[in-house]
Amino acid sequence: MLASEYDKYSDIFKMTRPIKIAPSVLSADFSRLGQEVEALEKAGADLIHFDVMDGHYVPNITIGPQVIKSLRSFTRLKFDVHLMIQPVNPFLEAFVKAGADSLTVHIDAGPHLHRSLAHIRHLGVKAGVALNPATSLEDIRYVLDDLDLVLVMSVNPGFGGQSFIPQTCDKILALKKMIGGRPIQIEVDGGVSPENAGDLKRAGADILVAGTSVFKTRDYKKNIEALR
Ligand code: DX5
Ligand code: ZN
């Protein structure tokens, strides 16, 4: 397809495709995570994003499989688990058993990305790769057929509430072209707000992760709708 044709069709495609909102529980009230997950489902969240951090791959520590397992019965929404841990392979099965529906690994969290993605699919859940702001798209060119999801980090991983990195939009545009017609979802994570959500959708994002923007007030429904 000629680039000009692609742009024409992609504009039509972009504006009709509904964006999915994945609140990150990183910004939730950790003393009442079950009720928070229930409230997110009621507020219209499309899936729940869990930021797993080990204090080694990123300078922060959050949750493990046990917390995810304890929340599984609170909602039917899909659990989108973002693994900011290294090494990652030894823990994949535990997160699947805990109830993860997709596992996203950071491209540099282990020596053999292709093997990690194959393992995740073998475990029966969707396989995702997370690209840090400095990571090149070239690093995933040869695993595109082993992926269900690409998580484009719009902040450096480790903390919620950081400032959105604007170069992310161009990266998503280029990723969309690289993916072509493959059934791969593009997810964006970090500093997502109503101010940049429109640009991200037009660039080709399918799923927006948001912590601060969703939990900034108790009206989660209003905050989620503001992102759509
Ligand atoms: C960073 C985390 C955060 C979180 C969302 O490692 O992945 O990006 O999900 O953070 P906010 O929406 O608060 O920037
Ligand atoms: Zn995340």
Q: What is the pLDDT of residues 11-50, one digit of tens each?
A: 544 456 789 999 999 999 999 999 999 999 999 999 999 9
Annotation marks residue 7 as catalytic = no
The structure's pTM equals 0.93
Report which of residues 1 and 61 the model is more confident about: 61
pLDDT of residue 64: 98
CB of 23 closer than 6 angstroms to any ligand 1 atom: no
Short-list 68, 107, 101, CA closest to 84: 107
Average pLDDT over residues 3-7: 47
pLDDT of residue 16: 63
pLDDT at 2 over 60: no
pLDDT of residue 6: 44
- How far does Cα 92 stand from its chain's mean position? 16
pLDDT of residue 97: 98
Number of H helices, E strands in the chain: 9, 8
Q: What atom in ligand 1 is closest to the CA of residue 162?
A: 14
Annotation marks residue 170 as catalytic = no
Residue 142 Cα distances to 81, 114, 145, 179, angstroms: 23, 9, 8, 11
Residue 181 Cα distances to 9, 23, 35, 37, 117, angstroms: 12, 27, 39, 33, 20
Cβ atoms of 206 and 10 within 8 Å: the answer is: no
CB of 191 closer than 6 angstroms to any ligand 1 atom: yes
Q: What is the pLDDT of residues 47-95, one digit of tens each?
A: 999 999 999 999 999 999 999 999 999 999 999 999 999 999 999 999 9
Q: What is the pLDDT of residues 188-198, one digit of tens each?
A: 999 999 999 99
**With left for phi above 0 and alpha for psi between -120 and 50, is residue 75 left, alpha or beta?**
beta
> What's the whole-number average pLDDT of the chain?
94
pLDDT exceeding 90 applies to what percent of the chain?
A: 91
The domains of the chain, with CATH numbers, are: 3-227 (3.20.20.70)
pLDDT of residue 162: 97
CB of 60 closer than 6 angstroms to any ligand 1 atom: no
Residue 107 Cα distances to 59, 60, 131, 162, 227, angstroms: 17, 18, 6, 21, 27
Ligand nearest to the CA of 85: 1
Short-list 128, 192, 186, 197, CA closest to 160: 192
Q: Which of 26, 56, 60, 192 to mutate to test the pocket of ligand 1 (most atoms within 8 A of CB)?
A: 26
pLDDT at 1 over 80: no
- Of the residues 46, 54, 80, 189, which is catalytic? 189
